[in-house]
Structure 1
Amino acid sequence: MTPDELAALHGVCFTAHPRPWTALEFANLLNNPLNFLLTRPQAFLLGRTVAEEAELLTLAVAPQARRQGLALALLSEFAATAQARGATEGFLEVASDNAAAMALYSGTGWDIVGCRKGYYAPGTDAVVMRRVL
């Protein structure tokens, strides 16, 4: 997927918080060798590994393609890719009002380890989650 395609899909998936990322932001992220992009038709995951930690930066699945296992497949590939890059644990943050994402992550072994109060505008908390890889 190109930065423009990533930004278009991200824009459909994230309309409030976090705000959609631009094509330029995706291009800059993809130019960083610590970052990696995993894709499926109508879905993608962008991750980063630094030393023994991996961070799930964003996961987007087109609304019409949800509940078909794409996110599960990407999360599994994230874990495998991060491990291959030397990571032993993963982190992510998710908006506290995103019940579907919270359920997905909790159901795949991610545990809540923190909260960033008011991180997203307008005052929505970011829930920090961790998973042993």
Structure 2
Amino acid sequence: MAATMTVGQVAEAAGLSRRAVRLYEERGLLPPARRTPAGYRLYDQNDIDTLTFIRRARALDLSLDDIGAILTLRRAGTAPCTAVRNLLDTRIAEIDRAITDLQALRATLTATRQATADPSATPEPAGGVCPLIDR
């Protein structure tokens, strides 16, 4: 397929910014674009497909390194779906840990706030910064 689209056109077609397209090319996620004699990058439908994949993978919060590994597998002729499932499982576990940590923090904050619900029970500090946190 002939490379006929400029960076702006391919960015719009993939739902990305021009800057993102250049970044993904710089990071090796997108093969280097052909150039016109004037130095303008030229792209084709395969590039749009790759960029669309990258955008969707980023929406799932996959890292650029993870996306690069997936693309490397695919370009080597290997179906990357097993690797993708493993990455998704890892990401789900990370999110579950973050949720647990946030719930524990919320419980601590709520308990601290409830223990100091009456402003008259907490005099202004004579020393320290704020008794609400200092204790």
TM-score by length of 1: 0.27
Q: Which has the higher contact order (CA 8 A, sep 6+)?
A: 1
More strand by percentage: 1
More helix by percentage: 2
